């Protein structure tokens, strides 16, 4: 592991509630309060969600749409009507 990678590493502590606090520098850098956590072969991958676009998701039991920053109900209904024709 080179020095650049070491500078990006932080030790995170999990509290009894299951919460993990991200370093302040990361919170400021990514300017979002929404993150996606994904299990990978190397462990956990935490990715910031800092966009207004809709995300599609699918797993073994369900599928759907996710709006990281929310969506106005009227806009959602208009989009559904467009799809229904």
Q: What is the pLDDT of residues 29-50, one digit of tens each?
A: 887 777 878 888 989 888 887 5
Residues 57 and 27 in one domain: no
Distance CA 50, CA 34 (A): 7
8 A C-beta contact, residue 54 and residue 66: yes
Q: Give the global pTM.
A: 0.48
Domain total in the chain: 2
pLDDT score for 53:
63
Residues 3 and 25 in one domain: yes
First to last CA, the chain: 55
Residues 45 and 80 in one domain: no
pLDDT bracket for residue 19 (50, 70, 90): very high
> What percentage of the chain exceeds 90 in pLDDT?
13
């Amino acid at each position: 592991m080179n020095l650049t990678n070491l500078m990006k590493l932080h030790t995170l502590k999990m509290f009894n509630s299951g919460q993990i606090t991200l370093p302040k520098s990361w919170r400021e850098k990514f300017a979002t309060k929404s993150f996606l956590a994904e299990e990978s072969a190397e462990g956990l991958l935490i990715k910031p969600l800092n966009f207004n676009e809709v995300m599609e998701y699918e797993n073994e039991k369900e599928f759907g749409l996710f709006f990281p920053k929310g969506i106005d109900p009227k806009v959602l209904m208009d989009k559904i009507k467009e799809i229904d024709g």
